[in-house]
Amino acid sequence: MKTMQIPYQNCHVTIKCGENIAETELKSLSQIRSLLIITDDKLKTLYSHIIGDLPVIIVPEGEKAKSIETYSLVIRELLNRQIDKTWVLVALGGGSISDLTGFVANTYKRGLSYVNIPTTLLAQIDASIGGKNALNIGNIKNQIGTVYQPKEIIIDSILLSTLPQIQFNSGMAEAIKYALLFDESLFDQIENKSFTLPEMIFRCAELKAQITSRDEFDLSERKALNFGHTVGHALESLSQFYLSHGEAVAWGMIWEINPNLRPRLKKVLTQYSLLPEIPFGPEVIFGHILTDKKKENDFITLAKIEKIGRYQLVKQNLAAWQKELAHEHLW
């Protein structure tokens, strides 16, 4: 097992990475704190051996977990069970469940501790790390949220053995994002499929930990992690989440990357089946980008990648960007 300690403004977060560690780590934690699991019905069945006899709140699968209605349901359930500030919430699931649990933990009785046990590749290398949480408003993603750090993140690669291929590929989109931004060697390994899964997970988690520790509240360099997500979130919303997060972000990266790198990136994303056909035109997509929480007046901050492993943050005028992309053959 590998361990990282991430310093943040008001706390340190422990990340533990390994294989077959979730059950043991959860059992150890339950001996010193009262735990309550937040998960969905399918995961409760899959990981019953990890949950044991711990109390559970069941929430809907996927993005439905991030609704105001689900949030209210969980808060009411915590009140009914008389959960107080001595308890620790445990998010057992993907990014939607960690988003919901983090927001609940931050807002219920003005703050409970929580632990993330991510069960998808996407959550293990990205969503569970850094403290961001969010709820959706209808089909508009992440309009309500805070930054609130978990007490601990337990990354167990064996949990990915039950992951459907489409969800594994979705996580690979985020791994490709990290490689494009920060690590040319990692990109080469992903391109050639020469990586080992535990090492790739640890490297991506390490990169996310480093940048979020330096910029916890998204004021400067953490904005680079939104690479591909401006267009990606628009596509997710427009498709009513028919597109996976990875598929949407993959097309977002195609839109945002330097045109000279676009053919190579398309080839890699195609290896992981991440470029399905898109039925929406640029006008519709840009119309939806106007609701993006990152937009400031007529501008949005984008990470421009001129060379793999190196980026620059720029303020992009949306009208100029739309005009520029109108001449590109993106699909």
pLDDT for res 329:
66
Domains and CATH numbers, the chain: 1-160 (3.40.50.1970), 164-325 (1.20.1090.10)
Average pLDDT, the chain: 96
Q: What is the pTM of this model?
A: 0.95
Q: Return the residue matching tokens 């107080």.
A: 84
pLDDT for res 204:
98
**Stretch 68-81: mean pLDDT, rounded?**
98
Q: What share of the chain is helix, strand, coil (3-state, %, to 5)?
A: 50, 20, 30
**Stretch 125-130: mean pLDDT, rounded?**
98
Q: How confident is the model over 180-209, as pLDDT tens digits?
A: 999 999 999 999 999 999 999 999 999 999
DSSP H helices in the chain: 22-30, 41-46, 48-51, 68-80, 95-107, 121-122, 165-182, 184-192, 197-214, 229-238, 245-256, 262-271, 282-289, 318-325
Identity at 230, one-letter amino acid code: T
Query: Quick one: which of 99, 16, 87, 93 has its CA closest to 55?
Result: 87
User: Is residue 326's pLDDT more than 80?
Assistant: no
Q: How confident is the model over 10-56, as pLDDT tens digits?
A: 999 999 999 999 999 999 999 999 999 999 999 999 999 999 999 99
With 0-12 CB in 10 A as exposed, 13-18 as middle and 19+ as buried, what is 60?
middle
327: how many CB neighbours lie within 10 A of its CB? Answer: 7
Q: How confident is the model over 243-296, as pLDDT tens digits?
A: 999 999 999 999 999 999 999 999 999 999 999 999 998 889 999 999 898 999
User: Is residue 331's pLDDT more than 80?
Assistant: no
Q: Strand 12-18 vs strand 299-307: parallel, antiparallel, or unpaired?
A: unpaired
Q: How confident is the model over 209-225, as pLDDT tens digits?
A: 999 999 999 999 999 99
pLDDT for res 306:
86
